[in-house]
């Protein structure tokens, strides 16, 4: 195990997952092999890109027992914990909604280009949620920067127009919003039941069942609530986040006593999860877009097996150095995920020739270009952000 309670394989796997996310997000789909991208909604199957996002949610779940647990150990009562959980969830929802709407900016109706709108919006997000090193001397400066961020975001929301002059959608949650709702459910479960394996497993199974019932249209009577609580009612995201949290609770309860046995149990659970996904396939296709339980089970299983292997190599055998280059990204994942978008918008706004590799007739160039982009943004950028102490705080 790592020093203290730190499990290094969590940071390294999160960093690896983030680099993969940057890679698949950069892929120019017409120019790369189909198995690297997303599978269409009505197709029974999955590509590499269909695992990356649930992998990120799984890692969010794995971090909850440490992030919430640390606050408990510092003396936070339930009111303070609830406040922290609500603020973090709301922050993820707000940023998720802003990001989701940014993809649909119609320059003609909005009055500015999509790239400029998004650049201003992201600048506001970074100003509001940056983790400032606050002192008595700079307290008012920091408040001023946060207010400036709000003043940048609000006009963008007001002037926003999408396709067919559509106004800003406040319930278009996007990736971060989906993570936010999953985090909300899992964090509340952890606040109530802490490191109790049996009670946590009940909620894991509960949201798997909810996901199945939702896909069978048995929960359609809850449709009036879906515009706001649809992600919870669907059950898929909470199930994935809770599954990651369950694995960390297992580690906290048993890894110190018998790390090797714990690793084998996690790997076995992963294999069972993958098998369960294929067993349910006659009733639910494997589909990321449809958020089916089969897709979630298979993705969870892949995460469990992968983590068990990394845990055995890094924390059990103490071979840490080989993966240390991924730790900065894993430790500052949200910031590293968002900052590359700023580079995209600058490139697009000024038509800079940096994305020359996105061509449909050269798969090797298209894929290798995205690999280089992911390495620069997922390995080099986090080191720079770490040196200048730039990170978002939710």
CA distances from 89 to 83, 84, 106, 132, 259 (A): 10, 8, 28, 20, 33
| 179 is a domain residue | yes
Q: Collapsing DSSP states into helix, strand and coil, what is residue 385?
A: helix
pLDDT of res. 6: 65
Q: Cα–Cα distance between 270 and 278 in angstroms, integer?
A: 13
Q: Cα–Cα distance between 61 and 135 in angstroms, integer?
A: 32
| 146 is a domain residue | no
Domain count, the chain: 1
What secondary structure letter does DSSP report for 134? -
| 358 is a domain residue | yes
What secondary structure letter does DSSP report for 39? P
Torsion of CA 88, 90, 95, 96, to 10 degrees: 110
pLDDT of res. 5: 56
pLDDT of res. 350: 94
The pTM (predicted TM-score) of the whole model is: 0.93
| 127 is a domain residue | no
pLDDT, tens digit (0-9, with 9 covering 90-100), for 125-153: 999 999 998 887 888 999 999 999 999 99
| 115 is a domain residue | no
Angle between helices 48-73 and 174-193 (to 10 degrees): 40
| 139 is a domain residue | no
Which residues of the chain fall below pLDDT 50?
1-4
Q: Give yes or no for a contact between 10 and 315, defined as CB atoms under 8 angstroms apart.
A: no
| CB atoms inside a 10 Å sphere around CB 124 | 22
| 156 is a domain residue | no
State the burial class of residue 158 (Cβ atoms within 10 Å of its Cβ: 0-12, 13-18, 19+): exposed
**Residue range(s) defining the domain that contains residue 33:** 8-104+162-387
| 252 is a domain residue | yes
């Amino acid at each position: 195990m790592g020093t203290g309670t730190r499990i290094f394989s969590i940071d390294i796997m999160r960093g690896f997952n983030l680099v993969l996310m940057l890679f698949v997000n950069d892929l120019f789909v017409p120019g790369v092999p189909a198995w690297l991208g997303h599978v269409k909604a009505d197709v029974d199957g999955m590509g590499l890109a269909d695992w990356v996002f649930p992998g990120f949610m799984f890692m969010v779940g794995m971090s909850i027992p440490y992030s919430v647990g640390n606050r408990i150990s510092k003396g936070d009562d339930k009111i303070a914990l609830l406040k922290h959980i609500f603020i973090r969830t709301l922050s993820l929802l707000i940023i998720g909604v802003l990001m989701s709407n940014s993809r649909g900016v119609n320059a003609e109706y909005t009055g500015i280009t999509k790239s400029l709108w998004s650049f201003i919006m992201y600048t506001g997000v970074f100003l509001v949620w940056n983790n400032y090193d606050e002192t008595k001397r700079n307290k008012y400066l920091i408040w001023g920067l946060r207010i400036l961020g709000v003043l940048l975001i609000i006009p963008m929301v007001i002037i926003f127009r999408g396709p067919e002059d559509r106004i800003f959608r406040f319930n278009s949650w996007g990736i971060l919003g989906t993570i936010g709702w999953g985090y909300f459910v899992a964090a509340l479960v952890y606040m109530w039941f802490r490191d109790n394996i049996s009670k946590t497993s009940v909620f894991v199974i509960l949201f798997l069942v909810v996901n199945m019932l939702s896909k069978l249209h048995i929960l359609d009577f809850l449709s009036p609530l879906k515009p706001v609580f649809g992600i919870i009612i669907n059950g898929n995201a909470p199930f994935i986040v809770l599954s990651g949290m369950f694995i960390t609770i297992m580690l906290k309860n048993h890894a110190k006593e018998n790390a090797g046995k714990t690793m084998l149990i996690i790997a076995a659970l992963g294999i069972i999860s993958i098998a369960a996904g294929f067993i349910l396939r006659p009733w639910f296709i494997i589909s990321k877009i449809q958020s089916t339980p089969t897709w979630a089970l298979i993705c969870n299983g892949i995460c469990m097996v992968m983590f068990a292997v990394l845990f055995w190599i890094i924390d059990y055998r103490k071979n840490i150095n080989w993966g240390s280059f991924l730790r900065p990204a894993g430790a500052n994942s949200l910031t590293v995920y968002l900052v590359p978008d700023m580079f995209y918008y600058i490139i697009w706004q000024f038509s800079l020739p940096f994305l020359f590799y996105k061509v449909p007739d050269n798969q090797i160039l298209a894929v290798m270009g995205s690999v280089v982009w992911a390495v620069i943004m997922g390995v080099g950028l986090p080191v720079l952000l770490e040196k200048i102490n730039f990170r978002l705080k939710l």
